[in-house]
């Protein structure tokens, strides 16, 4: 089964935290005010964060 | 949808109130300094963007109007808008305009210029705003700063509303000068820490 997980383009991330607010599993945190970080163990790949991200830097990717 | 609401999820009410108060008495504009100092202090002391992440009432306002009320195309911002050139460039431009505003305040303080009871929108359009000015309570420069600062706040709100409609609700966050600045502070703090 293919499972997708959220992946943040950390270089372009503005660390606004919109993704943190919409994540239903509290899987995202802002690393030291610099970029968003996804806990791959918690992420279920729902894609809410990717949709919300004002900079559109979150993509859903097949987890390895 | 997440269910649990925190007290800080209602800070948009303050942001909205702030904008409205500026139509009645311009001196309330001074309160806007809180939106400058609180994020800066949090990033300097705490090394975090907790202000953006939790407390920013303006961001909440955009997400309510653009998200909940649906006044947004919900399209991605163009690539140049999230580039470092544009974000840092806008920060520098914003700062330059801020210093022009401070200089104008100084000129009124030094009595080299008369108080101008206008709000300057988008750094260009002078809107007559004398109805919100009820005489000099302290000193004319106090009112001049209020007009100037309210201009900054109204201009950034208008820009934010335009990009909210065109792109995603909180597109303003992508190029918000305060957000860019606090992120830079956090980056700088992290670099110095890792060098120790």
Rounded CA separation B31/B90 (Å): 23
pLDDT-based confidence at residue B195 (cuts at 50, 70, 90) = low
Q: What is the pLDDT of residues A8-22, one digit of tens each?
A: 999 999 999 999 999
Tokens linked to B169: 């609700």
Closest Cα in chain B, distance from residue A46 (Å): 12
Residue B106 has pLDDT above 80, yes or no: yes
Position B137 scores a pLDDT of 72
Domain ranges of chain B: 7-195
Per-residue pLDDT reduced to its tens digit, B81-104: 999 999 999 999 999 999 999 999
Q: Do A33 and B43 touch (CB under 8 A)?
A: yes
- CB within 8 A of B186, min separation 6: which ones? A15, A32, A33, A34, B43, B47, B48, B49
| pLDDT, average across residues B20-44 | 96
pLDDT at res. B135:
81
pLDDT for residue B196: 58
**CB–CB of B173 and A14 under 8 A?**
yes
H-helix or E-strand spanning residue A58: strand A58-62
Domain ranges of chain A: 4-62
Confidence of residue A49 (pLDDT cuts 50, 70, 90): very high
Is residue B151 a contact partner of residue B119, using CB atoms and an 8 Å limit?
yes
State percent of chain B over pLDDT 70. 97
pLDDT at B136: 73
Asked if residues B153 and B22 have their Cβ atoms less than 8 Å apart, the reply is yes
CA distance A12 to chain B (A): 7
> Which pLDDT score is estimated for A64?
67
State how far the Cα of B109 lies from the Cα of B183, in Å rounded to an integer: 34
Residue B1 has pLDDT above 70, yes or no: no
B63-76: average pLDDT:
96
Query: CA of A51: which chain B residue's CA is closest?
Result: B74
First vs last C-alpha separation in chain B: 42
What is the pLDDT averaged over residues B32-38?
A: 96
Does the ipTM surpass 0.95?
no
DSSP sequence for B119-182: EEETTTEEEE-GGG--S-SS-HHHHHHHHHHHHHHHHHHHHHHHHHHHS-TTTHHHH-HHHHHH
B186 contacts on A by Cβ (under 8 Å): 15, 32-34
Round the average pLDDT of chain B to a whole number and report it.
Answer: 94
Does 3.30.2350.10 match the CATH number of domain A4-62? no
Average pLDDT over residues B155-176: 97
Q: Give the one of B49, B167, B187 whose C-beta lies nearest to A17's C-beta.
A: B49
In this structure, what token pair is assigned to residue B186? 């956090």
Beta carbons within 8 Å of A46's beta carbon, 6+ residues apart: A24
CA neighbours within 13 Å on the CB side: how many for B18?
23
Mean pLDDT across B1-19: 89
Give the pLDDT of residue B4: 81
Query: How much is the pLDDT for A63?
Result: 76
Q: How far is CA B17 from the centre of its chain?
A: 14
């Amino acid at each position: 089964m293919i499972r997708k997980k959220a992946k943040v383009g950390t270089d372009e991330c503005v660390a606004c935290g919109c993704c943190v607010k919409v994540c239903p599993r509290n899987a995202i945190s802002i690393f030291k005010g610099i970029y968003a970080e996804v806990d791959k163990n918690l992420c279920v790949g729902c894609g809410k964060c990717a949709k919300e991200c004002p900079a559109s830097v979150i993509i859903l990717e097949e987890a390895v | 949808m997440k269910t649990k609401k925190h007290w800080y999820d209602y800070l948009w009410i303050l942001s909205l109130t702030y904008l409205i108060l500026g139509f009645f008495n311009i001196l309330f504009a001074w309160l806007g300094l809180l939106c400058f100092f609180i994020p800066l202090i949090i990033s300097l002391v705490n090394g975090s963007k907790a202000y953006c992440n939790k407390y920013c009432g303006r961001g909440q306002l955009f997400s309510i109007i653009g998200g909940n009320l649906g006044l947004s195309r919900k399209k991605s911002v163009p690539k140049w808008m999230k580039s470092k050139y544009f974000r840092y460039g806008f920060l520098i431009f914003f700062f330059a305009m801020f210093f022009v505003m401070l200089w104008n305040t100084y000129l009124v303080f030094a009595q080299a210029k008369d108080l101008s009871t206008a709000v300057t929108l988008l750094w260009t359009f002078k809107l007559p705003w004398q109805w919100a000015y009820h005489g000099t309570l302290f000193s004319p420069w106090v009112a001049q700063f209020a007009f100037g600062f309210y201009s900054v706040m109204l201009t950034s709100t208008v820009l934010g509303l335009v990009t909210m409609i065109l792109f995603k609700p909180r597109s303003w966050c992508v190029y918000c000068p305060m957000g860019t600045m606090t992120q830079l502070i956090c980056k700088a703090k992290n670099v110095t820490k890792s060098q120790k």
